[in-house]
Amino acid sequence: MSDHRTLTGQRRRADTRKRIIEAAIPLFAQGGEVLVIEDFVRVANVSRGTFYNYFRTVEELHEAAEQWQLNILNQQVEAKLVGLSDPVERFACALRFYLETGRQDMAWSGFMARLEHGAGSAAERRFTLDLRQGQKDGLFAKLSSSIAYDVVNGLMMRSFARMAVKKTCGWHLDEVVRTAMRALGASSTKVEQALEIFRQRKAVK
Amino acid sequence: MSDHRTLTGQRRRADTRKRIIEAAIPLFAQGGEVLVIEDFVRVANVSRGTFYNYFRTVEELHEAAEQWQLNILNQQVEAKLVGLSDPVERFACALRFYLETGRQDMAWSGFMARLEHGAGSAAERRFTLDLRQGQKDGLFAKLSSSIAYDVVNGLMMRSFARMAVKKTCGWHLDEVVRTAMRALGASSTKVEQALEIFRQRKAVK
Amino acid sequence: MSDHRTLTGQRRRADTRKRIIEAAIPLFAQGGEVLVIEDFVRVANVSRGTFYNYFRTVEELHEAAEQWQLNILNQQVEAKLVGLSDPVERFACALRFYLETGRQDMAWSGFMARLEHGAGSAAERRFTLDLRQGQKDGLFAKLSSSIAYDVVNGLMMRSFARMAVKKTCGWHLDEVVRTAMRALGASSTKVEQALEIFRQRKAVK
Amino acid sequence: MSDHRTLTGQRRRADTRKRIIEAAIPLFAQGGEVLVIEDFVRVANVSRGTFYNYFRTVEELHEAAEQWQLNILNQQVEAKLVGLSDPVERFACALRFYLETGRQDMAWSGFMARLEHGAGSAAERRFTLDLRQGQKDGLFAKLSSSIAYDVVNGLMMRSFARMAVKKTCGWHLDEVVRTAMRALGASSTKVEQALEIFRQRKAVK
DNA sequence: GATGAATGAGTCTTCATTCAT
DNA sequence: TATGAATGAAGACTCATTCAT
């Protein structure tokens, strides 16, 4: 009995939290005006008090929304990379999948473009590990990992920003991937193979 | 009515405007907290009313400060490029000089890192013209100018952001330039020549 | 969600709104100085924020207060006119009751004197309909309804203004009614009858 | 020499004052927004400092403008009444001339409509004297002079207000005069004579 | 846990007034 | 006298946060 109540309560809590986060994402994606708590309360259709039961500041909600989105995204992309072992192929394919997700959802691109994955972020740490591995095998130029991260991340973020406001075609995104990989000094043959793999895997949902 | 009065007035106006802008730059550079008009009023040592005589919003002041800084910067860099005609050399040298300026003034780097020179900016238009010229001569890879701009600008902005918080050495900045130029598909020999020219010209003030 | 909570909330809202309006009326009545939101906040004993939850400008509050007062007034006067069918009698009696209300409350007179019931107001439209009816029966002179409204309304407003600053006796107000009705060309016999009816009905509360 | 300088100075002073007043009248006439000193400074093409050399507040300027306009108006109307001795004729003719001035200048009507010639004004005192004279001769009903003033002034002000926003024809204004005089109990024959005199005198400029 | 009315500190913005030139 | 830049007090308005129901 008590267990049932507890479980129901937890589920309701999680539901409300999810509702607030999902309603908030389009607002974050849109950009422009400053967002206030009232905005989130309105779109999520909850009261101010309820908002405070879950998040104490707009920033806290933003971080939760970011985690939420990145978790989903990373799971999806990981699934697409299954079986690929070559670092260059994995890298190029992952970038292309990220971009593809943005291509199919302009609002989501707006959301991504506004994230701060700068120096010191978790994203940078993971990126660095993968890069180092590839450099050991001589697959990337010998450049500082921070520069490598900056050039790739900078290009990706700006590409999301463009996709947020303008419909984009697939071969343009191929070109973005080629440019990023060229900056890292990767073999263009391998990049083309990766793009071919992407095309095959994209087809199968 | 009297020329003298008119002139004196104009000079006073220009002085006050300059005072507000110059006092504002360190605030913009610092980043973090949201800036309110009171902040600028305090550091410029003028009254609120005076602020409104010159700028109607913080955004308007920010744009004025941006113009102010870029005018100075562009003049300085242009002076350094005198006599260089090869597009790759000019490009690489210019990037290196921009970075050098940031290296020597961390606060200024912070200011630059926060500028929005995104899609459609004046900076992009100028960049595109130069790039096209170089592409005609086969000096750059055949990539879309918007991607070229995004990769270079993205890398530069993130480099400024890093320089704003961490002392940086020159050879790291050389590497940034190499990476940017590699992304554009420029010949590494020419890039090395450009970096050599930079070293020579930097010495002579 | 719960009916009880919803009802309680609505009641609280209505109470606060009423509190602000009723506290505001003496301020509007007083006239002279320009009224600022702080003034209403102080007399109603609510916070600035609360004021803005109900009214966005002083003008909006003023209109609400006007509606509030006129609703009460019209109900009271209607009650006094029950059973009177002759247009002249109804007209004269109504004017006299309006004036009587002012006579017994100088502050209220001040409030009324400052209302803008000019060209195009709801009051004018209703006045016009009644006047037309009387003109069909030959009870009023054949004058333009806008002029008729202006002369009656103008005299009434100025009478309120005088009553706001000086104690006034009943027979003076009888004279005001006689003058208004004379301007409309109504029979003085009927007007005297109407004033007699007023005297009888005033006695019985 | 000194005399000449003094005279020139006085003339310039008067000119500037006149310039400010005349530029201000259309602003006062327009109504609606709150007027600030900046508004007058702009239309008169003088500096803020100069404004303060002549008027200390907007209210002071408004009173000066009112005097200015009424002086002109009264002189003109007096001239039109020359030779008329009957109080009713003088009264009716004067009202008709005032209205005619408004009819020919909508902006001026707006200015007049906003004046406060309420209880206790100079206008009321003069009105009272003329009325008493007529009452002695049995030409007006025996009504309180304050009521008489209120009914006539109230109707006139509202008529100006209407003329300020809507083109008006002469016979409508005749009707206004008839209504005002009927309210005072004046003989309609005399009023028609007065309106006839007005028509004759209006023709001759 | 959910609600939303109330709060008041923080900012924005205007504008009368001063004063050095 | 004329000018107009500078001032800062006054008022408008927002919004994060609390709390009784």
Checking if the pLDDT of A2 tops 60, the result is: no
Closest residue to F2 measured CA to C1′ = D50
pLDDT (tens digit per residue) in B113-131: 999 887 777 778 888 988 9
Q: For residue D180, name the pLDDT band (cuts at 50, 70, 90).
A: very high
Cα–Cα distances (Å) from A43 to A28, A32, A40, A47, A110, in that order, read 12, 17, 5, 10, 18
Q: What is the dihedral of CA C145, C149, C152, C153, to 10 degrees?
A: 180
Nearest-angstrom CA–CA distance, C145 and C151: 10
Closest residue to E4 measured CA to C1′ = A47
Radius of gyration (C-alpha) of chain A in whole angstroms: 20
Judge: C144–D182 Cβ closer than 8 Å, yes or no: no
Q: How far is A121 from chain B (nearest CA, A)?
A: 13
Q: How far is the CA of B46 from the C1' of F8 (A)?
A: 11
pLDDT of residue C125: 86
pLDDT of residue C5: 64
Q: What is the mean pLDDT of residues B141-162?
A: 96
Contacts of C165 in chain D (CB under 8 A): 119
Radius of gyration (C-alpha) of chain B in whole angstroms: 20
Structure tokens at D162: 């209407």
Residues 33-62 of B with CB under 7 A from strand F: 46-50, 52-54
Which secondary structure element, helix H or strand E, spans residue B24, and what is its range? helix B3-30
Query: Residue C153 class from Cβ within 10 Å (0-12 exposed, 13-18 middle, 19+ buried)?
Result: buried
pLDDT of residue D1: 44
The count of C-alpha atoms lying within 13 angstroms of the C-alpha of B11, restricted to the half-sphere facing its C-beta, is 6
Q: How far is B88 from chain A (nearest CA, A)?
A: 16
Q: Taking CA C124 as the corner, what is the angle to CA C123 and CA C128, rounded to the nearest 5 degrees?
A: 120
Structure tokens at D35: 């007027």
Checking if the pLDDT of C2 tops 60, the result is: no
| Chains contacting B (3+ CB pairs below 8 angstroms) | A
Helix (H), strand (E) counts: chain C: 10, 0
Contacts of C180 in chain D (CB under 8 A): 151, 183
Q: Does residue D100 contact residue D202 with C-beta atoms inside 8 Å?
A: yes
3-state secondary structure of A67: helix
Q: What is the mean pLDDT of residues A141-156?
A: 95
Count the neighbouring beta carbons within 10 Å of the beta carbon of residue B177. Answer: 27
> What single string gives the DSSP state of each residue in B90-153?
HHHHHHHHHHHHHHT-HHHHHHHHT----TT-HHHHHHHHHHHHHHHTT-S-S--HHHHHHHHH
Residue where the block lists tokens 């500028």: B115
Nearest CA in chain B to A155: B151
Give the number of beta-carbon pairs within 8 Å between C and D: 88
Residues 6 or more apart whose CB falls under 8 angstroms from that of A97 comprise A76, A77, A80, A81, A198, A202
pLDDT (tens digit per residue) in D54-90: 999 999 999 999 989 888 888 898 899 999 989 999 9
Residue B74 CB closer than 7 angstroms to strand F? no
Q: Taking CA D75 as the corner, what is the angle to CA D71 and CA D79, rounded to the nearest 5 degrees?
A: 170
Top-confidence residue, D123 or C38: C38
The count of C-alpha atoms lying within 13 angstroms of the C-alpha of A158, restricted to the half-sphere facing its C-beta, is 28
Checking if the pLDDT of D110 tops 80, the result is: yes
Residue where the block lists tokens 């994203």: A123
Q: How far is B77 from chain A (nearest CA, A)?
A: 23
CA nearest to D91, candidates D77, D103, D105: D77
Residue where the block lists tokens 């800036």: B35
Judge: B155–A158 Cβ closer than 8 Å, yes or no: no
Residue where the block lists tokens 């409104």: B52
Nearest-angstrom CA–CA distance, D144 and B204: 99
Interface probe for C, chosen from D115, D151, D159, D169 (most Cβ of C below 10 Å), is: D151
Q: How far is the CA of D22 from the C1' of F2 (A)?
A: 19
Q: For residue C176, name the pLDDT band (cuts at 50, 70, 90).
A: very high
Residue B145 CB closer than 7 angstroms to strand F? no
pLDDT of residue D126: 84
Checking if the pLDDT of A1 tops 70, the result is: no
Contacts of C154 in chain D (CB under 8 A): 150-151, 153-155, 157-158
Nearest CA in chain B to A140: B179
Q: Does residue A65 contact residue A72 with C-beta atoms inside 8 Å?
A: no
The count of C-alpha atoms lying within 13 angstroms of the C-alpha of D16, restricted to the half-sphere facing its C-beta, is 17
Q: How far is the CA of C5 from the C1' of F14 (A)?
A: 27
Q: Does residue C191 contact residue C88 with C-beta atoms inside 8 Å?
A: yes
Judge: D180–C151 Cβ closer than 8 Å, yes or no: yes
Cα–Cα distances (Å) from B91 to B191, C11, C112, D193, in that order, read 9, 71, 76, 95
Contacts of A165 in chain B (CB under 8 A): 119
The percentage of residues in chain A with a pLDDT greater than 90, rounded to a whole number, is 72
Closest partner residue to A143 (CB to CB) among B153, B159, B179 is: B179
Nearest-angstrom CA–CA distance, B132 and A14: 54
Nearest-angstrom CA–CA distance, C15 and B195: 76
Residue ranges of domains in chain C, CATH in brackets: 1-66 (1.10.357.10), 83-205 (1.10.357.10)
Residues 6 or more apart whose CB falls under 8 angstroms from that of D137 comprise D87
Q: Does residue D179 contact residue C151 with C-beta atoms inside 8 Å?
A: yes
Q: Does residue D82 contact residue D89 with C-beta atoms inside 8 Å?
A: no
Nearest CA in chain B to A181: B183
Nearest-angstrom CA–CA distance, D204 and D79: 12
Q: To 10 degrees, what angle do helices C106-113 and C145-165 make?
A: 140
The percentage of residues in chain A with a pLDDT greater than 70, rounded to a whole number, is 96
Residues 6 or more apart whose CB falls under 8 angstroms from that of B124 comprise B117, B118, B146, B149, B153
Q: Does residue B112 contact residue B160 with C-beta atoms inside 8 Å?
A: yes
Nearest CA in chain D to C162: D119
For the question of whether the overall pTM of this predicted structure is more than 0.95, the answer is no
Residue D50 CB closer than 7 angstroms to strand F? yes
Closest partner residue to C143 (CB to CB) among D146, D165, D179 is: D179
Give the single-character DSSP code of D31. -
How many whole angstroms from its chain centre is CA C117?
10
pLDDT (tens digit per residue) in B3-41: 566 777 778 899 999 999 999 999 998 877 899 999 999
Structure tokens at D120: 């206790």
CA nearest to B156, candidates B97, B104, B202, B200: B97
Residues 12-41 of D with CB under 7 A from strand F: 12-13, 16
Which residues on chain A place their C-beta less than 8 Å from a C-beta of chain B? 118-119, 141, 143-144, 146-148, 150-151, 153-155, 157-159, 161-162, 165, 172, 175-176, 178-180, 182-183, 185
Q: What is the mean pLDDT of residues C9-25?
A: 91
Q: Taking CA A187 as the corner, what is the angle to CA A182 and CA A189, rounded to the nearest 5 degrees?
A: 115
CA nearest to B44, candidates B6, B76, B17: B17
pLDDT (tens digit per residue) in A8-64: 777 777 889 999 999 999 999 887 789 999 999 999 999 999 999 999 999 999 999
Contacts of D165 in chain C (CB under 8 A): 119
Q: How far is the CA of B50 from the C1' of F6 (A)?
A: 6
Checking if the pLDDT of A94 tops 50, the result is: yes
3-state secondary structure of C139: coil
Q: For residue D130, name the pLDDT band (cuts at 50, 70, 90).
A: confident
Q: Does residue A143 contact residue A191 with C-beta atoms inside 8 Å?
A: no
Top-confidence residue, D96 or C10: D96
Q: Which amino acid is at B199?
A: R
Q: Does residue A162 contact residue B119 with C-beta atoms inside 8 Å?
A: yes
Q: How far is B18 from chain A (nearest CA, A)?
A: 28
Nucleotides of E under 7 A from a protein CB: 1-21
Contacts of D141 in chain C (CB under 8 A): 182
Q: Does residue C40 contact residue C51 with C-beta atoms inside 8 Å?
A: yes
Q: To 10 degrees, what angle do helices D170-183 and C170-183 make?
A: 150
pLDDT of residue D5: 59
Closest partner residue to B151 (CB to CB) among A147, A155, A162 is: A155
Q: How far is C123 from chain D (nearest CA, A)?
A: 15
The count of C-alpha atoms lying within 13 angstroms of the C-alpha of D9, restricted to the half-sphere facing its C-beta, is 6
Q: Which amino acid is at A186?
A: A
Nearest nucleotide to the CA of C47, by C1', is E7
Count the neighbouring beta carbons within 10 Å of the beta carbon of residue D31. Answer: 14
Count the neighbouring beta carbons within 10 Å of the beta carbon of residue C170. Answer: 15
Give the single-character DSSP code of C31. -
Top-confidence residue, B89 or A13: B89
Residue A56 CB closer than 7 angstroms to strand F? yes
Closest partner residue to D179 (CB to CB) among C147, C159, C172 is: C147
Work out the mean pLDDT of chain B and round it to a whole number: 91
Nearest-angstrom CA–CA distance, B178 and B191: 7
pLDDT of residue D44: 95
Judge: A157–B154 Cβ closer than 8 Å, yes or no: yes
Residue C48 CB closer than 7 angstroms to strand F? yes
Closest partner residue to B179 (CB to CB) among A161, A165, A183 is: A183
Judge: C175–D119 Cβ closer than 8 Å, yes or no: no
Q: What is the mean pLDDT of residues C102-122?
A: 87
Q: How far is the CA of C23 from the C1' of F7 (A)?
A: 36
Closest partner residue to B151 (CB to CB) among A119, A151, A162 is: A151
Contacts of D178 in chain C (CB under 8 A): 143
Residues 6 or more apart whose CB falls under 8 angstroms from that of B78 comprise none
Closest residue to E13 measured CA to C1′ = B52
pLDDT (tens digit per residue) in B49-71: 999 999 999 999 999 999 999 88
Query: Residue D36 class from Cβ within 10 Å (0-12 exposed, 13-18 middle, 19+ buried)?
Result: exposed
Closest residue to E10 measured CA to C1′ = B36
Nearest-angstrom CA–CA distance, B127 and B146: 9
Q: Does residue A178 contact residue A199 with C-beta atoms inside 8 Å?
A: no
Closest partner residue to A182 (CB to CB) among B146, B158, B182 is: B182
Checking if the pLDDT of A7 tops 90, the result is: no
The highest-confidence range among B61-75, C142-156, D12-26, by mean pLDDT, is C142-156
Q: Taking CA A130 as the corner, what is the angle to CA A128 and CA A131, rounded to the nearest 5 degrees?
A: 65
N-terminal to C-terminal alpha carbon distance within chain C? 45
Closest residue to F19 measured CA to C1′ = A49
The highest-confidence range among C100-104, C111-115, C116-120, by mean pLDDT, is C100-104
Judge: D147–C183 Cβ closer than 8 Å, yes or no: no
Top-confidence residue, B122 or C137: C137
